[in-house]
Amino acid sequence: MLQTIFDAPNGYGLQLDWRGYTVHDASNVMRRFLNYLPEPVITLKYQSTFKNTLDAVFPTIEAKIDAYQDLIEQLPTSHQYILLYLLDMLCLFSMCSENTRMDLSSLATAFAPSILSDPNDAMNPARYKEAQRVLEFLIKHQDKFSMPRYSSLKPNDDPLTQQQDNSRLQQELRQPILYHTAHIRFLI
């Protein structure tokens, strides 16, 4: 029922009355949405790099965080926004684990397949565990990652293409998921 409400083009659940639903209901709808994206939030092109960065040796934890920030900035802009909003939301969920019964590790376990899933690793428990560990690290340090800045976006020399890119970006940023993360925060 809830999924049907969010799939309906007349607002995509915008006017949903959340009374009677739990944070777990919202979480399930969110995971379904993420699972049906054409590409994972962390795109296939960067998944190995995200996983390899976790075990790489860095002089400080800040250097590792900076390495992840650089990787995040290489993702398509809409993926950057969605990833950072999700990390923020999952961190909020983990801070309310007494209500949600989902600690950091449990959240990483539940959402790793939706955020950092490579179909080639579907039957490989070790690679799944790596994805979970990466997501745990990202959630734990989410407050140190910054949103993409328009000035840091790669400019295009062709004004027409740049205008089309800007229009596409604005459409991507209006996707229902971004609005609904605010509603999910309300449920916690």
Angle at 151 between CA 145 and CA 154, to 5 degrees: 95
Whole-angstrom distance, CA of residue 176 vs CA of residue 96: 24
Whole-angstrom distance, CA of residue 26 vs CA of residue 17: 12
Q: Which of 2-6, 24-28, 87-91 reaches the highest mean pLDDT?
A: 87-91
What percentage of residues in the chain have a pLDDT greater than 90? 39
Q: Tell me, what's the pLDDT at 149?
A: 61
Q: Closest Cα to residue 135, out of 47, 56, 59? A: 47
pTM of the complete model: 0.74
What percentage of residues in the chain have a pLDDT greater than 70? 79
Token couple for 163: 């205008």
Whole-angstrom distance, CA of residue 175 vs CA of residue 86: 14
Q: Which residues contact 11 (CB under 8 A, 6 or more apart)?
A: none
Superfamily of domain 2-148+156-187: Rho GTPase activation protein (1.10.555.10)
Q: Tell me, what's the pLDDT at 184?
A: 44
Please indicate whether residue 158 or residue 45 has the higher confidence score (pLDDT): 45
Whole-angstrom distance, CA of residue 111 vs CA of residue 17: 25
Whole-angstrom distance, CA of residue 148 vs CA of residue 158: 22
Q: What is the pLDDT of residues 43-65, one digit of tens each?
A: 999 999 999 999 999 999 999 99
Phi, psi of 4 (to 5 degrees): -60, -40
Q: Report, in angstroms and rounded to the nearest whole number, the Rg of the chain calculated over CA atoms.
A: 17
Report the amino acid identity of residue 98. E
Q: Which residues contact 188 (CB under 8 A, 6 or more apart)?
A: 23, 92, 93, 96, 99, 100
Whole-angstrom distance, CA of residue 165 vs CA of residue 150: 12
Overall average pLDDT of the 123-134 stretch: 88
